[in-house]
Structure 1
Amino acid sequence: MFPNAIALVYFLALHLRSCAADLCNWTGSGFAAGVDSRIVLQVRLRCTEGSVRWVYPGQALRVVLEPNLSSNLRTTVCIKPSPSFRGASVFIERAGELELLVTDGERPQQVFCFRADGPHRPAIYLQANLQSDGHWRRRTMGFRYELLGNRSAAPNLGHSGLQTSCRPCNDTELLMAICNSDFVVRGYIKNISHSSESQTSLVEVSAVRVYWQRSRVFEQQVAPGSSQSLSSWHGRIHALLQCHVKPGDGEFLFTGAEHFGEAWLGCAPRYKDFLSVYQTARAAHRNSCDFPLD
């Protein structure tokens, strides 16, 4: 097990330059650590999202996230191990000690999140395991990372990953969701599929209007022989399997957060119910932001 004393972590720490010359992503080799098991490779990244790719993983790798932000609003760190992530465990630093986040053998596509409050920059440790014959061979492991803010529309981000209360949003949460969500889309549910392996559900949505989105989660499609004006928007939204998302008829307003290029479901009322809540709040001057009504 990796030692919990940070003083030992810094022993013979080796500062490396990234093979890819940017401040968001790092690709490097742990070959030197295979020669001297006391060496801990150290990397510093200064973006709110990016990736780490470790070839010939050695004893340990320490990744410090110190983005150039004017204020400390992003207090949650999420990481998504690569599909090839095998033979290592992931730790985070809390108050001078290491805390296990991901053990070797867990589902590689699961998202793991932790709070990064406090005066110290968040740090992530990867501890590589030896091969059965005691040697390191060529293999690659890594992860993508995101630093998130406290958005009310996003799912709760706990120590073990994406979590949610699996309950309908109340009026206050709904009014905040249309202001703070990464995407707000009006449309219909085409299909819902469930995966017991990933413990998630996938909601296929046909949208009649995309009010906004942070990235291109929803894309416009034009049917063959149709004009651009007859095009429609399509996208997929993820939810946790434990929430038992079910198909429904009629028009919905979908809101939520984006993580690693994927949409995650937040508040999703029927559009007519949203209109009633919003118009009541606007009449009482309690709406959090202006929303375009058709």
Structure 2
Amino acid sequence: MPAFGVWINAIWILFFAGFDAASSSYSEDQCSWRGSGLSQQQGSVEQISLHCSEGTLDWLYPKGALRLTLSPRLPSVAVGPGGSSSGLITACVKPSEQFHGAQLYLERDGVLELLVGDRLESSPPPRVRCFSRLPGERVALFLQATPHQDISRRIASFRYELRGDWTARLSLDSNPISSEEACRPCNNTEILMAVCTSDFVVRGNIRSVVEDDNLRAAVIKVSATRVFRQKYALFTGNSRLTSRGEVRTLLQCGVKPGPGSFLFTGRVHFGEAWLGCAPRYKDFQRAYTIAKAAQQIPCELPVD
């Protein structure tokens, strides 16, 4: 593999080079890109810019390199479950299970950090990788093709997501995460803000908890008695009174099935529901009633 310095110089030399429209294409909304390396020159760097908070990249027959700039159209003030707004952007990439033919790097201020390496056929599926970008910080994703005699069966493909102010409890990364931060119960202020900002807000009961060692996650099977809001069809069912769905949380949080009704809130991460705040419903009711009487609720919710 060429030295990092050589590749970085090549990146900047070709920064305004554009790309061959015949060999690549954007989705209509510029959320996704699909292209082939067959028409790329060895050692060339193709520039790509995507402008959505989530999308995909499919690089067939990798050859040369790609430099990917993510410029999401996020709200000017993006707040997380805790109500904070630091301007921090968290990005995650989820390589396909058949990711082959390239290595994926994070380029931060001219320094490359390996996120996903090329895989052998017998290798386990690559894991989700997340990183954060501070306001004004220059970051990009850099895909470098690895030399192979036969590139016909190699595709470097991944999904990406960008969000404002994601906390550790909502991001699954390969780096160790503090159990204290990830599993800390939410305080009343965080609970009330989570009701306003989460992708889903559901009242329900825990049917069972299944451990997924590959994901390092606990999958909570939920019977939902009321779906206040859901961004995607996460909780569905034929019953008029209840629906069912799954919510994931970090394995080290030690979630166990138990009696009682909970208010589940959280974010959707690559199509899956990840737990944010989950107080007992009676505790949420108490906090909501007190805050409403004091005219301090950030948004209305039709509670029982």
Structure-2-length-normalised TM-score: 0.82
2:229 corresponding residue in structure 1: 212
Q: Using a 3 Å threshold, how does the CA distance of structure 1 residues 109 and 250 change in structure 2: closer, same or farther?
A: farther
Relative to 1, partners in 2 of residues 1:278 and 1:186: Cα closer, same or farther, differing over 3 Å?
same
Deviation at 1:145, TM superposition (A): 0.9
* Structure 1 unmatched runs, 5+: 224-229
Does 1:98 pair with 2:115? Answer: no
Say what the alpha-carbon RMSD is for the aligned residues: 2.6
Q: Aligned residue for 2:19?
A: 15
The letter of the residue matching 1:254 is: F
Distance 1:70 1:250, change over 3 A: closer
Checking the alignment, whether the CA contact within 8 Å between 1:185 and 1:211 is kept in structure 2 is yes
Q: Is 2:251 the partner of 1:241? A: yes
Q: Does the aligned pair in 2 maintain the 1:50–1:144 contact within 8 Å?
A: yes
Distance 1:141 1:72, change over 3 A: farther
CA distance change for structure 1 residues 268 and 57 in 2, over 3 Å: closer, same or farther? same
Distance 1:289 1:2, change over 3 A: farther
TM superposition shift of 1:130: 2.4
Q: 1:157 to 1:197 in 2, by over 3 A?
A: closer
Partner residue in 2 for 1:258: 268
Q: Following the alignment from structure 1 to structure 2, what is the Cα–Cα distance between the partners of residues 188 and 158? A: 24
Q: Residue 188 and residue 21 in structure 1: after superposition, are their counterparts in 2 closer, same or farther (change >3 A)? A: closer
Query: What is the CA deviation profile of residues 103-162 of structure 1, one whole-angstrom value per residue up to 9, with x for unaligned ones?
Result: 34585453211112233564211223223xx4533321211111112257x835486479
3-state SS, counterpart of residue 115 of structure 1: strand
Q: Percent identity?
A: 45
Helix, strand or coil at the partner of 1:15: coil
Alpha-carbon distance between aligned partners in 1 of 2:266 and 2:74, rounded to the nearest angstrom: 24
The alignment partner of 2:25 has SS state of coil
2:129 maps to 1:112:
yes
| Equivalent of residue 94 in structure 2, options 69, 76, 80 | 80
* Contact persistence 2:61–2:101 (CA under 8 A): no
Which structure has more strand as a fraction of its residues? Answer: 1
Asked whether the equivalents of residues 183 and 213 of structure 1 are also in contact (C-alpha less than 8 Å), the reply is yes
SS in 1 for 2:183: coil
Question: Is 1:46 paired with 2:61?
Answer: no
Gaps of 5+ in 2: 79-87
**In structure 1, C-alpha distance between the alignment counterparts of 2:249 and 2:124, rounded to whole Å:** 17
SS in 2 for 1:250: coil
1:26 aligned to 28, 33, 37, which one? 33
8 Å contact kept, 1:182–1:213:
yes
Native 8 Å contact 1:3 1:9 kept in 2:
no
1:50 Cα offset (Å):
0.8
- Separation (CA, whole Å) in 1 of partners of 2:125 and 2:18: 27
Q: Secondary structure at the match of 1:155?
A: helix
2:195 aligned counterpart, secondary structure: helix
Q: 1:91, 1:124 within 8 Å by CA — same for their partners in 2?
A: yes
> For the Cα contact (< 8 Å) 1:257–1:265, is it kept in 2?
yes
Question: How far, CA to CA, are the matches of 1:72 and 1:101 in structure 2?
Answer: 28
CA 1:100–1:15 in 2, change beyond 3 Å: closer, same or farther? Answer: same
Q: What secondary structure does 2:182 align onto?
A: coil
Q: Secondary structure at the match of 2:284?
A: helix
Residue pair 1:64, 1:121 contacting (<8 A) in 2 also: no
- The CA deviation at 1:241 is 1.1
**Partner Cα distance (1:286, 1:231) in 2:** 31
Return closer, same or farther for 1:143/1:48 CA change in 2, 3 Å cut-off.
Answer: same
Match of 2:216?
Answer: 199
